[in-house]
Amino acid sequence: MIPFLNQEDLIQQLKAGNEQAFRHLVENCQDMVYNTVLGIVQDMQEAEDVAQEVFMQVYRSIGTFRGEAKLSTWLYRISITKALDWQRKKKLRKGIHTVASWIGLGEPANEPVHFYHPGVELEQKEKSAIIFKAIQSLPENQRVCFLLLKTEGLSYEEVADILQISIKAVESLMHRARENLRKKLTSARY
């Protein structure tokens, strides 16, 4: 993370409130956090907002970090939790807005589907949007597992650490995610 510090020194500097250490953490981990969040929330602006919330949470709670996992594992956990919370709140807000429009208290919402991910070529956006829509429809635990393995390129062991489950459970989630995606994409005639 910081070239002149090992992880333990970095953590101690963060806990001591060293702004330079925090700045280095943000600079070195912002892409990882942003891409993880973006894989879940599927909106660039929202992903930026959630990524900021992740780093604010890290800054506020670094004192509680016990070092039982790698710092990057802890960052992934916070990123996933914040992104899923954001998504739940967004669904709740959208549901409230829909109900309000039904009873004449708001405008009907016809939101276009936005899709962006830094690893996707422009000509592949339409196909990728279909795939990511299918991924978004997976149960939460399968979706997070799939995104960490396939989008972030993490190993089964790393995902097991982040999600605090066994490697066998990761394998099972991934198998079910693949099966569910195959069914969804086949029915979408992709």
- pLDDT tens digit sequence for 132-176: 788 888 999 999 999 899 888 899 999 999 999 999 999 999 999
User: Does the pLDDT of residue 61 top 90, yes or no?
Assistant: yes
AA identity, residue 78? I
Tokens representing 30 are 């912002």
Using one digit for the tens of pLDDT, what is the confidence trace for 4-19?
Answer: 468 889 999 999 999 9
For the beta carbon of residue 182, count every other beta carbon within 10 angstroms.
11
Write out the CATH class of domain 117-190. Answer: mainly alpha
Percent above pLDDT 90 for the chain: 56
Domain boundaries, the chain: 1-114, 117-190
What local confidence, expressed as pLDDT, does residue 29 receive? 95
Q: What is the mean pLDDT of residues 47-54?
A: 96
Q: Is 127 a residue whose pLDDT tops 80?
A: no
Q: How confident is the model at residue 95 (pLDDT cuts 50, 70, 90)?
A: very low
Q: Tokens 């995104």 — which residue?
A: 147
pLDDT band at 91 (very low <50, low <70, confident <90, very high): low
Write down the residue that tokens 């879940």 correspond to.
40
What CATH number does the domain located at 1-114 have? 1.10.1740.10
